[in-house]
Amino acid sequence: MSRLIYIPFDQLNVERGAMRVADKGTDVIVLIESQRMLTTRPWHKQRLHFLISSARHFAEQLRADGWNVDYRKAATTVEGLEAVRTSTGIRNIVCAQPNSFRLSEQLTAIGATFVDNDFFLTPREVFQAWASTQSSFTMENFYRAQRRRLNILMDGDKPVGGTWNYDAENRLPPPKQHDWGPELYFEFDDIDEQVRNELPDSTWGELNTKVWGTTRAEARAQMEHFFTHHFADFGPYEDAMPNQSWRAHHSLLSPYLNNGLLLASEVIDAALERFSHSDIPIASCEGFIRQVIGWREYVYGMYWYLGENYRENNHLNAHRRLLPLFTDSSKTHMNCVRSVVADVHERGWTHHIPRLMVLSNLALLTGTSPQEFLDWMREVFVDAAEWVMVPNVIGMGTHADAGVLMTKPYASGGAYISKMGQFCKGCAYDPKQRTGENACPFTTLYWDFLARHESEFSSNHRMFQQMAGLRRLSDIDSVRVRAHEVLDGLEQGRI
Ligand SMILES: Cc1cc2nc3c(=O)[nH]c(=O)nc-3n(C[C@H](O)[C@H](O)[C@H](O)COP(=O)(O)OP(=O)(O)OC[C@H]3O[C@@H](n4cnc5c(N)ncnc54)[C@H](O)[C@@H]3O)c2cc1C
Ligand code: SF4
């Protein structure tokens, strides 16, 4: 009996998901370009272009391989699926378990049946089993369990190299002189151009260069490029924010991992292959493996484990509207923020430290609504998806979940950004000052944030040092006055 095999835009892989069970002789492969998805928010051009063009290329490849494909535009996904049902006369819709609560509910409501989602290394029930035995959800514990379960970088039951974690060798600041390696850009083809011309006016950001490949071949090329040119130095400079390179030595693979053009398993296999046949330092290999089998799987597992309402958490009662500098980098003189927002505007991407210690840190310290900030992050990052943004922003970035994910907030003043980045030299402010006109807004706001939440954080033993530091400040009253000026200035776009 014929079936409609529905492929969402984040499951573009012929070997996984519903394609596994599809029959070329009888089934119709369905992809829907939801117009609501396109127009409801000021999405970044790079993001929309990447998602739509990848899906159209995927559909074209399937057709070339002899599949019967129905790719159509519709007001919403559900309306599109109903229209395909009507035009083909086929009622039966099969899909892999979707990656969000919302799509799961919509497809369940129209009677779709689901096959297992095998785009991740950790089946949901395996994660649930792990989480249900934990008193706190420490990523490091999950990561070690993953290493054992998947038998990756293991020597019997011991970690290869004798230690689980090489952070002590990693996390170096950017050196003054360093070869940050070459970049790989792609050429727009006819499908890319067509999508580019169709983007709605409501978009944000630039799309002058094709930073993000839109085919599996281009995704594989980016993977090869990373392993050849950047993998060896990935570990030491994982947290560095150099001003000579927007990527540092990061892989740029998240968009492809998230839309199915690459699989985590093939990325891990390629990493282990390079590690065993070349002189890749273990600190770089382990650091990268940790991101993919640890962080990525942990965040996906926690998204499902914590449930649909987790995204509404606002434990610190933060209600400030999104600051204008997030959508217009010229609205601030803070060099770090201006540079990072400009990077995001250009490519829809920046690595984990600018996301965490610049953008999220600013949202956290200014008491910005976690939900408004989450919406903005979802709109502007090329790799954003509900399952990955929600835990990263609500849990890690803004501490809005009262520490369910991370036991302490990732809050810092200008000292961290000054140490790990190269922004402060060209900045109007001084990271060491907390009061006065030249004070770094991060430094001022950091102490003000601790003071505002003193009763909350005093009972958190992991915040002991910071709170002791706060109690030693003799000028906290002046800091708080300056913090008010800074917050006003940020709202008016003059700080
Ligand atoms: C506030 C915040 C928001 C984030 N939002 C997203 C998002 O919307 N989409 C997204 O894919 N990643 C997100 N991340 C994680 C991380 O920043 C990106 O995965 C990474 O910067 C992508 O670049 P890369 O592929 O070069 O990563 P690399 O540094 O080369 O890491 C390799 C891979 O590890 C995975 N990874 C690493 N850290 C995480 C993490 N915390 N959560 C999930 N996967 C991780 C990614 O798949 C990534 O491609 C966020 C992190 C923070 C702190
Ligand atoms: S001084 Fe402060 S605001 Fe300026 S770049 Fe450094 S950390 Fe950012």
pLDDT tens per residue across all 495 residues of the chain:
899 999 999 999 999 999 999 999 999 999 999 998 888 899 999 999 999 999 999 999 999 999 999 999 999 999 999 999 999 999 999 999 999 999 999 999 999 999 999 999 999 999 999 999 998 999 999 999 999 999 999 999 999 999 999 988 888 999 999 999 999 999 999 999 999 999 998 899 999 999 999 999 999 999 999 999 999 999 999 999 999 999 999 999 999 999 999 999 999 999 999 999 888 999 999 999 999 999 999 999 999 999 999 999 999 999 999 999 999 999 999 999 999 999 999 999 999 999 999 999 999 999 999 999 999 999 999 999 999 999 999 999 999 999 999 999 999 999 999 999 999 998 999 999 999 999 999 999 999 999 999 999 999 999 999 999 999 999 999 999 999 999 999 999 999
> Could you tell me if 278 and 327 are in contact, meaning their C-beta atoms sit under 8 angstroms apart?
no
Among 361, 429, 433, 443, say which to mutate for ligand 2: greatest number of ligand atoms within 8 Å of CB: 429
Distance of alpha carbon 363 from alpha carbon 145, whole angstroms: 33
Q: Is the dihedral of CA 472, 475, 481, 487 positive or negative?
A: negative
Please name the residue whose Cα sits nearest to atom 51 of ligand 1: 352
Distance of alpha carbon 310 from alpha carbon 435, whole angstroms: 37
pLDDT of residue 1: 86
Q: Is 295 in the pocket of ligand 1 (CB under 6 A)?
A: yes
**124-185+215-306: CATH architecture:** Alpha Horseshoe (1.25)
Q: Where do the CATH 1.25.40.80 domains begin and end in the chain?
A: 124-185+215-306
Distance of alpha carbon 5 from alpha carbon 112, whole angstroms: 10
State the distance from the centre of ligand 1 to the C-alpha of 192, rounded, in angstroms: 25
Atom of ligand 2 at shortest distance to CA of 426?
5
Distance of alpha carbon 356 from alpha carbon 365, whole angstroms: 12
Q: Where do the CATH 3.40.50.620 domains begin and end in the chain?
A: 4-115
Please name the residue whose Cα sits nearest to atom 2 of ligand 1: 392
**pTM of the predicted protein model:** 0.97
Distance of alpha carbon 392 from alpha carbon 252, whole angstroms: 18
Q: Angle between the 441-452 and 476-492 helix axes, to the nearest 10 degrees?
A: 120
Instruction: State the Cα torsion 321-49-36-30 to the nearest 10°.
Output: -140
pLDDT of residue 167: 84
Give the total residue count for the chain. Answer: 495
Q: How far is CA 264 from CA 53, 253, 305, 479, in A?
A: 21, 10, 21, 47
Q: Is 339 in the pocket of ligand 2 (CB under 6 A)?
A: no
Q: Which fold has domain 4-115?
A: Rossmann fold (3.40.50)
Please name the residue whose Cα sits nearest to atom 6 of ligand 2: 424
Q: How far is CA 474 from CA 255, 442, 467, 482, in A?
A: 47, 19, 13, 14
Q: Which fold has domain 312-492?
A: DNA Cyclobutane Dipyrimidine Photolyase, subunit A; domain 3 (1.10.579)
pLDDT of residue 170: 86
